[in-house]
Amino acid sequence: MTLLETQNLTAHYGDFQALFGVDFTMDEGETVAVIGANGAGKSTFLRTLTGLHPSKGQTITFDGQPIAGLAGDAIHKAGLAMVPEGRRLFRSLTVEENLMIGAAGKLSGPWTLEAVYTLFPDLVAKRHNPGTALSGGQQQMVAIGRALMSNPKLLLCDEISLGLAPKIIKDIYPAVPHIRARGTSIIVVEQDVGQAMAVADRIYCFMEGRVTLTGTPHSLTREQIAHAYFGMG
């Protein structure tokens, strides 16, 4: 069943147009990676889906309902949760308090504190420590856990690996298939094509605000991706 669909989606910052006619569709249960260079429009696409960027009058259908133009909290209640780029924890609160904030107004579903601790065992020993005591990777785990605590139907992750060391990224990316295994659909925004290919059922490549390529990782060649990502070849 189709979980999310956009038709001819556009976005502007004043006179500047950041998205041009984006047609996007994903099924329930899928993990989709959105790839593209700096400034391709990936974050703007996520922000438009979650109501952080205006979408009034456009066509965005989520779980059978039109969501364009709704306020962010109504979209969140409909089952769409975002892990923001840069993590943004409440640094004076403990890990567990941060996670519980995500549970406010939660839908029913598989995600509980225990399920988040099973997903990220590193957090168990830190559960009563403040956000200030965490490494960058652990902060990212809390940010993902906090978004999951609302039991979203669709989790949106903006550049999970941004600013993290490769070793730490290796601790976080394996969580994606576990999240999917509990029935939560996922969109990951990722600049690292290899990482995206490894984790996604399907890929959308953006360039300069347009979708330039879509397909399964197996069906796409390096040449196609280079062309769609950088516009060369």
Using CB under 6 A, list all residues that contact ligand ATP.
Answer: 13, 16, 18, 36, 38-44, 191
| Cβ distance to ligand ATP smaller for residue 41 or 137 | 41
φ, ψ for residue 185, nearest 5 deg:
-80, 155
| Cβ distance to ligand ATP smaller for residue 43 or 150 | 43
Q: How far is the CB of 167 from ligand ATP (least distance, A)?
A: 22
- Are the C-beta atoms of 46 and 187 separated by less than 8 Å? yes
Which residues, in sequence order, are bridge partners of residue 230? none
Which residues, in sequence order, are bridge partners of residue 130? 94
| Cβ distance to ligand ATP smaller for residue 22 or 89 | 22
Q: How far is the CB of 47 from ligand ATP (least distance, A)?
A: 7
| Cβ distance to ligand ATP smaller for residue 123 or 193 | 193
Q: How far is the CB of 192 from ligand ATP (least distance, A)?
A: 11
- Angle ∠(124,83,88) on CA atoms, nearest 5: 75
| Cβ distance to ligand ATP smaller for residue 42 or 76 | 42
Tokens matching residue 78: 């409909």
Q: How far is the CB of 17 from ligand ATP (least distance, A)?
A: 9
| Cβ distance to ligand ATP smaller for residue 42 or 146 | 42
Q: How far is the CB of 84 from ligand ATP (least distance, A)?
A: 11
Q: How far is the CB of 157 from ligand ATP (least distance, A)?
A: 12
For residue 73, give Cα distances in angstroms to 10, 50, 56, 227.
21, 9, 15, 38
